[in-house]
Chains A and B, each alone.
Chain A
Amino acid sequence: MATVDIRNVRKSYGPVEAIKGIDVAVQDGEFLVLLGPSGCGKSTLLRMVAGLEGITGGEIAIGGRVVNGLDPKDRDIAMVFQNYALYPHMSVFDNMAYGLKIRGIPKPEIQSRVAKAAEILELGRFLDRRPSQLSGGQRQRVAMGRAIVREPSAFLFDEPLSNLDAKLRTQMRVEIKRLQDRLGITSLYVTHDQVEAMTLADRILVMNHGVAEQIGTPLEVYQRPASLFVAGFIGSPPMNVLDGRIDPAGAAIAMPGGAVLPLAAPRAADAGRAVKLGIRPEHLALTAADAPGASSIQVELVEALGADTVVYGRLPDGESLVVRMAGLPACREGDRLTVAPQPGALHLFDADGGRRLAEA
């Protein structure tokens, strides 16, 4: 068990900079999820921690010891790969035991460690099987078993669930969470799936184009996204983003369509400023036409999901607006609805850089 410190780490492939200086200190026992779209550099960062990829700049320390120059085997980490990476010709037992054998751990100890891991992962019946004789979920469990038996300082996961079907993925997600709670081992977990990130993480590092857009708990990332990118990436359906301008009094936002949305706290300093306004679909509600901040939308598509309903509509000025309502409200394509944001649910971003505006 240990901390993992990533200090201003960079990675270049020739002239291309894949990681542009990332800083994060992972606490002992913490579960940090690296979240971002495909190609943003999540795997690269994880592989630098593992020692599979050289570090172009900066420093990585595991348990307080700088590991930049160390081989993967000397970093005291274990890694779980997307395609399991099991040795196809070895039994489940041998797959788990291989790393221990190389380390010269005595046989009885190997036996007991593998037996313990197999029990935790419910793999006891399969120890003699080859990986090819297991289902995808079982293979993934063997891969985790191989990591557990090593009793490492840190677990590294690279999209371990993305090869599983949706149902199994949910099930394994719960298992990983339970496992990490039980073992309390510092973990770095790469995924592009926001649900995995929200459910597993103690903290999420949202990455985009090789930079950390935001580091925070799942709730912080959801409630106070640090940038338009984070706002759009977390939440489903994604946050509505509209153009607006803070009125001269700094008390409300004037929308191009004519609606005026009152601000919860006045922003005199930003009076007259153009902003991007974010409103989550679930924070819009039906309201009376004369309520403050009300806008009317024309319904274009209704997705009834059972527990809730997603309505895709259009504002009078042609902007699209997505509203998520609980239950099964009676509305159809072509209907007109009047909606308004719930108080205090507005996110304001700089119209240029997309960074969140400081709270008033």
Chain B
Amino acid sequence: MTASHTTGGRRLIDLVPHIVLIVGVLIFAFPIYVTLIGSTWDSATIGRGNLPLIPGGEAFNNYSQAWSESHGARASYTPVRVMVLNSLVMALAIALGKIAISILSAYAVAFFRFPFRMAFFWMIFITLMLPVEVRIIPTYKVVADLGLIDSYAGLTIPLIASATATLLFRQFFLTIPDELVEAARIDGAGAVRFFLDVVLPLSKTNIAALFVILFIYGWNQYLWPLLITNSADMETIVIGITKMIGTGEAANDWNLIMATTVLAMLPPVAVVVFMQRWFVKGLVDSEK
């Protein structure tokens, strides 16, 4: 009697957080679900304003049209296949570029003694306070004068050029014991070998985590790509989606917008899912 009572009570205690979590998930997942469903109906059904909550039969048409055609029923767009490629190039360049710059500058600051070392460190650190939005006008001028408008270089370099992850890598490098550095010196490893053979492998988990964060940061860039890309060939998918939603002069191709949105979500999701394996591996290996 008492035993069943306590298990009953415990079950209730277990239940409450579950209910809270389920409600939370529903709140976050519902809009995504609606988008997913919307991408399977035709434009007229969505336009009528009462979207069914079960999948319709237009999925193939909507997705193939969004993926490869440059015009919908009511307006013309850049095909998703072009925009995804642009976004992918931008996000990868930003993530990899920032990681490369940050890890190298952190390596210099953490492992070498040179004049004005801390001054350099603080200069790098201050770039944290100067995101693209703050320096956008001078940056635009520079990029325009260099003739980099409508180019991948113009799209990515100004976003790479801040070593925001330097601090993170430096903190991690400071946890690498001095003895390890000295053992490598005695083994005969120079600065480059030590970096490649020891520091880089030990940073694997950190790099994976940063890659995810920076890839999504790059993928979601809006203001800078909006300024720097004029031709449809250079459009990124975030820009493309906002352009598809018209200003009210014409009705929207909601079916295509929703299909495009779903496609825009896939690469970041793929990166998270794929990189998760590396985090778990890093944790399981329990390498210092």
Which residues in A have some Cβ–Cβ distance to B below 8 Å?
50-52, 71-73, 77-79, 81-89, 98-99, 102-103, 130, 132, 146
Contacts of B230-251 to chain A: CB distance below 8 A: none
| Given known A83-B179, A130-B287, A132-B286, contact A73–B186 (CB-CB < 8 A) | yes
B115 interface residue, CB < 8 Å from A? no
Q: Is B185 an interface residue (CB 8 A)?
A: yes
A73 and B185 within 8 A (CB): yes
Q: Can you report 20 A-B residue pairs in the complex whose CB atoms are below 8 A from each other? A: A52-B182, A52-B186, A72-B182, A72-B186, A73-B187, A79-B183, A82-B179, A83-B179, A86-B183, A87-B180, A87-B184, A87-B197, A88-B287, A88-B288, A89-B198, A89-B201, A98-B189, A98-B197, A130-B285, A146-B187
* B46 at the binding interface (Cβ < 8 Å): no
Count chain A CB atoms within 10 A of each CB in B183, B193, B285, B286 and give the residue with the most: B183
* Chain A min CB distance to B199 (Å): 10
B188 interface residue per 8 A CB criterion? yes
Which 7 residue pairs are nearest across A and B when measured between Cβ atoms? A99-B187, A73-B188, A85-B179, A85-B183, A102-B188, A89-B201, A81-B179
Q: Which residues of B contact A99 (CB under 8 A)?
A: 186-188
Output the least CB separation between A95 and chain B (Å). Answer: 9
List the A side residues contacting B286 at CB < 8 Å: 132
Chain B positions within 8 Å of A130 at CB level: 285, 287
Number of B positions contacting A (CB below 8 A):
20
CB distance B177 to A85 under 8 Å? Answer: yes
Tell me if B287 and A77 are in contact (CB < 8 A): no
Beyond A81-B179, A87-B198, A102-B189, 4 extra complex contacts between A and B, CB < 8 Å: A72-B186, A82-B179, A87-B183, A88-B202
Q: Are A89 and B202 in contact (CB under 8 A)?
A: yes
Residues on B with C-beta less than 8 A from A102 are 187-189, 193
Name which of B180, B186, B197, B202 has the most chain A CB atoms within 10 A of its CB: B186
How distant is the Cα of A51 from the Cα of B187 in the complex, in angstroms?
Answer: 12
| Cα distance A130–B285 in the bound complex, in angstroms | 9
B269-288 interface (Cβ within 8 A of A) = 285-288
| Chain B neighbourhood of A79, CB < 8 A | 182-183, 186
